[in-house]
């Protein structure tokens, strides 16, 4: 298979579907319906409450040959920031929503990417839990970094998404996750209001997801670190896959 981001094909950065009806179609349809209109004001509005995204990007190590994937890339805001680095390596985005990817594709073009010899950002439609570096992106190798930015809190099948990300990460590679935390250090009335508001958007803080990320470290095959973003408004998890046996 070819690697479009490596420049072996001339395929433009458009999305392509690998969803099968009846197999994750509901989540893709739900995301399309949620973002059909809001995608046009998404970047403007979300900058005020999707905190910690830039801190996550600071943790992404890029080099000439690195491959970085954002799962649930939305409008490609994060990937476009990475593409602005002098050396960004190969950048990939996966999202369930065709609607979001349309905006992402436009934003990539508007940003004038690729420039300075950087390869294009490759965008694909598909589900996090079905991530497959070869089938979806034509890659022969796994990824150096896979990150989720405010994505897993809206994925009902998050255990599959977590497992697929770990399986598609090179030994020594890094998985980064920024997402809503429990707001335990913020005023209770703020925390309760935020939870209610987020649930309108199918977004839920899941303590069991937090525990599952921590458990990746307990098995001894990964190192896991959590940082608090703004008094536990959100967390940033760094999971480094150790160069030993694959994670369970
Ligand atoms: C809150 S947005 C975050 C977008 C972007 N990561 C950011 O930081 O601005 C969550 C994104 O996850 C996508 N998403 C939700 N469920 C998904 C799934 N199962 N697989 C892939 N993407 C999914 C949505 O379509 C949406 O674009």
State residue 200's pLDDT score: 86
Greater model confidence, 56 or 245: 56
Pocket-testing residue among 70, 154, 162, 236, ligand 1, by greatest number of atoms within 8 A of Cβ: 154
Pocket-testing residue among 74, 94, 160, 204, ligand 1, by greatest number of atoms within 8 A of Cβ: 74
Q: 126 burial class (0-12, 13-18, 19+ CB within 10 angstroms)?
A: buried
Query: Using 50, 70 and 90 to split pLDDT, how confident is the model at 12?
Result: very low
Average pLDDT over residues 234-242: 96
Query: Using 50, 70 and 90 to split pLDDT, how confident is the model at 87?
Result: very high
Strand partners, 68: 91, 145
CB 247, CB 239: distance < 8 Å = no
Relative to beta strand 234-241, strand 169-180 is antiparallel
Express as a percent the part of the chain with pLDDT over 70. Answer: 85
Please name the residue that has the structure tokens 């497959």: 132
For residue 57, the CA-to-ligand 1 centroid distance in Å is 16
CATH number of 4-241: 3.40.50.150
For residue 95, the CA-to-ligand 1 centroid distance in Å is 6
Of how many residues is the chain composed? 248
Does residue 20 register a pLDDT over 50?
Answer: no
Query: Using 50, 70 and 90 to split pLDDT, how confident is the model at 239?
Result: very high
Does residue 2 register a pLDDT over 50?
Answer: no
Tokens linked to 238: 């760094």
State residue 116's pLDDT score: 61
Q: Which residue has a Cα nearest atom 26 of ligand 1? A: 74
Average pLDDT over the chain, rounded to an integer: 86
State residue 7's pLDDT score: 42
State residue 102's pLDDT score: 93
Task: Read off the pLDDT of residues 186-237 as tens digits, 9 standing for 90 and up.
Answer: 899 999 999 998 898 889 889 999 999 999 999 888 999 999 999 999 999 9
Does residue 29 register a pLDDT over 90?
Answer: no
Pocket-testing residue among 25, 41, 71, 72, ligand 1, by greatest number of atoms within 8 A of Cβ: 72
What are the residue boundaries of the structural domains of the chain, listed by start? 4-241
At 78, give phi and psi (nearest 5°): -70, -40
State residue 204's pLDDT score: 86
Please give the Cα distance from 248 to 178 (Å, whole number).
Answer: 23
Helix (H, G, I), strand (E, B) or coil at 178: strand
For residue 74, the CA-to-ligand 1 centroid distance in Å is 5
Position in ligand 1 atom list of the atom nearest CA 128: 20
Query: Using 50, 70 and 90 to split pLDDT, how confident is the model at 41?
Result: confident
Please report, in angstroms and rounded to a whole number, the separation of the first and last CA atoms in the chain: 27
Position in ligand 1 atom list of the atom nearest CA 127: 20
Which residues, other chains included, contact 123 with Cβ-Cβ below 8 Å and sequence gap of 6+?
Answer: 13, 14, 15, 73, 76, 92, 93, 94, 95, 101, 104, 105, 108
Tokens linked to 40: 């046009």
Please give the Cα distance from 159 to 152 (Å, whole number).
Answer: 9
Relative to beta strand 67-71, strand 90-95 is parallel
Please give the Cα distance from 112 to 123 (Å, whole number).
Answer: 16
Residues having CB within 6 Å of any atom of ligand 1:
27, 31, 46, 50, 53, 71-74, 77-78, 94-97, 100, 127-128, 149-151, 154-155
Considering only CA atoms, which of 197, 193, 189, 139 is closest in space to residue 168?
139
Average pLDDT over residues 65-91: 95
Pocket-testing residue among 48, 81, 95, ligand 1, by greatest number of atoms within 8 A of Cβ: 95
Does residue 94 register a pLDDT over 90?
Answer: yes
Strand partners, 241: 222
Task: Read off the pLDDT of residues 111-167 as tens digits, 9 standing for 90 and up.
Answer: 887 766 667 899 999 999 999 999 999 999 999 999 999 999 999 999 999 999 999
Average pLDDT over residues 158-180: 97
Relative to beta strand 222-229, strand 234-241 is antiparallel
Position in ligand 1 atom list of the atom nearest CA 46: 9
State residue 174's pLDDT score: 98
């Amino acid at each position: 298979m070819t690697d479009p981001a490596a420049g072996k094909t001339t395929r433009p950065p458009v999305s392509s579907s690998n969803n099968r009806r009846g197999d994750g179609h509901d989540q893709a349809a739900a995301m399309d319906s949620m973002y059909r209109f809001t995608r046009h004001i998404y970047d403007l509005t979300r900058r005020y409450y999707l905190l910690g995204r830039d801190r996550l990007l600071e943790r992404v190590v890029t080099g000439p040959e690195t491959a970085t994937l954002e799962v649930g890339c939305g409008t490609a805001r994060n990937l476009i920031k990475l593409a602005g680095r002098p050396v960004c390596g190969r950048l990939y985005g996966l999202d369930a929503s065709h609607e979001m990817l349309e905006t992402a594709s436009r934003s990539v073009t508007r940003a004038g990417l690729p420039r300075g010899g950087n390869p294009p950002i490759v965008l694909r439609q598909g589900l996090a839990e079905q991530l497959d570096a070869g089938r979806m992106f034509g890659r022969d190798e796994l990824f150096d970094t896979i990150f989720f930015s405010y994505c897993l809190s809206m994925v009902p099948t998050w255990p599959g998404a977590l497992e697929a990300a770990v399986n598609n990460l090179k030994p020594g590679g890094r998985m980064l996750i920024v997402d809503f935390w429990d707001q335990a250090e913020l005023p209770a009335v703020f925390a309760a209001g935020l939870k209610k508001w987020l649930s309108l958007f199918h977004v839920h803080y899941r303590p069991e997801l937090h525990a599952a990320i921590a458990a990746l470290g307990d098995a001894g095959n990964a190192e896991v670190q959590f940082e608090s973003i703004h008094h536990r408004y959100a967390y940033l998890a760094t999971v480094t896959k150790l160069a030993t046996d694959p994670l369970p």
